[in-house]
Structure 1
Amino acid sequence: MREFMIKTWQPIPRNEQETVITYDKELDEWSIFTDNPNHARKWERLVEPSYTYPSYKAYDATTGKLIGLEGTVSGKVILSK
């Protein structure tokens, strides 16, 4: 059974936060990495643990709020500006 690893982090400084969404054509799979708390909370319900690499949810060591996320995006991804 796939499960997220749970991590506890100190928040990343705002000027160093990033969100990376990638597509693997061979696997026909979208994945996401983010250490931006707003993006982590927005994508949380759409992300599942991956079969191909470790996946995690990271929580603020002080407040317990979600601040980071990595996993496979369920469904399709549509990007717009």
Structure 2
Amino acid sequence: MNIVGILGTIHNEQMREKYNYLLKYIEDLIVEFNPDIICGEIRPEDFEKYIIDKNYDGYLGPNEYRKSILPLWGKT
């Protein structure tokens, strides 16, 4: 049996602050869950460029992906 977790995010920084749904909280949830896979709103070709160059400035999904979720890639 596999376990699937669904983590919703808020794509607006002001709303995240208003509702106390800060990036640190999202990071902590991901680290605690320790997923094998994270699916997100990133095109494969952009993710491949990010893997090669962590400074890639193309589209990498909503801002919380670049700021919080992608840096966790490979660490969980």
TM-score, with normalisation over the residues of structure 1? 0.30
Name whichever structure is richer in helix by fraction.
Answer: 2
Q: Choose between structure 1 and 2: higher strand proportion.
A: 1
